[in-house]
Amino acid sequence: MTKNEKFGLVERFLLDNKNAHYRIAYSYVKNKENALDIVQDAIFKALQSIDRLGEIKYLKTWFYRILVNTSIDFIRKHQRVTVMDNEILDGYLPQSEDDPTDMDLNDAIDALTPDEKSLIILRFFEDLKIEEVAAVLGENVNTTKTKLYRTLKKLRVEIGEGI
């Protein structure tokens, strides 16, 4: 496959899945502008390193790895200040009795480490198979399974469901 053919396939993949990419970035930063910046940076990094993509069948996991790492890097760089969209901020303000909102799961996911959050987002929100999650995170499948189960247990405890 020529570099131009590979570039065309990558470009098509990025355009066809732009909403999923945005959703992943947004799940990390909870801010529209920051999520768009992350996606843009990830696309730039992917296009710069297109030669490192060995086989096109690994395109999805290859790009998701770039996107997740870019999201985590962004969080680490901007850890001191977190800007939230108004809808998210409203979820943290006191609610009236007429407007009950159950934020336990969202709060629990937000409290996870970036690595734990990646496991949950990729497996349950992006519906990736365990093998794909392991490939994105650069770990073996058994390690990924162990970390996922440990993270799920942590979430259950956090939201008060016990084990």
Q: Write down the pTM of the prediction.
A: 0.74
For range 115-141, the mean pLDDT: 91
126 and 85, same structural domain? no
Q: Is the pLDDT of residue 99 over 60?
A: no
Please say which residue of 101, 117, 145 terminates a domain.
101
* Residue 83 pLDDT grade (very low, low, confident, very high; cuts 50, 70, 90): low
Greater pLDDT, 161 or 135? 135
Of 18-32, 70-84, 140-154, the poorest mean pLDDT is in 70-84
pLDDT of residue 85: 57
78 and 38, same structural domain? yes
Sequence-distant (6+) residues with CB within 8 A of 103 are 91, 92
Q: Is the pLDDT of residue 4 over 50?
A: yes
pLDDT of residue 97: 45
Count how many domains the chain has. 2
* Residue 163 pLDDT grade (very low, low, confident, very high; cuts 50, 70, 90): very low
3-state SS assignment for residue 123: helix
For range 69-90, the mean pLDDT: 72
* Residue 91 pLDDT grade (very low, low, confident, very high; cuts 50, 70, 90): low
Please say which residue of 58, 84, 101 terminates a domain.
101
CA distance 93 to 97: 13
Residue ranges making up the domain that contains 94? 1-101
85 and 112, same structural domain? no
Residue 150's CATH number: 1.10.10.10
128 and 94, same structural domain? no
Burial of 136: CB neighbours in 10 Å, binned 0-12, 13-18, 19+: buried
Q: Is the pLDDT of residue 115 over 50?
A: yes
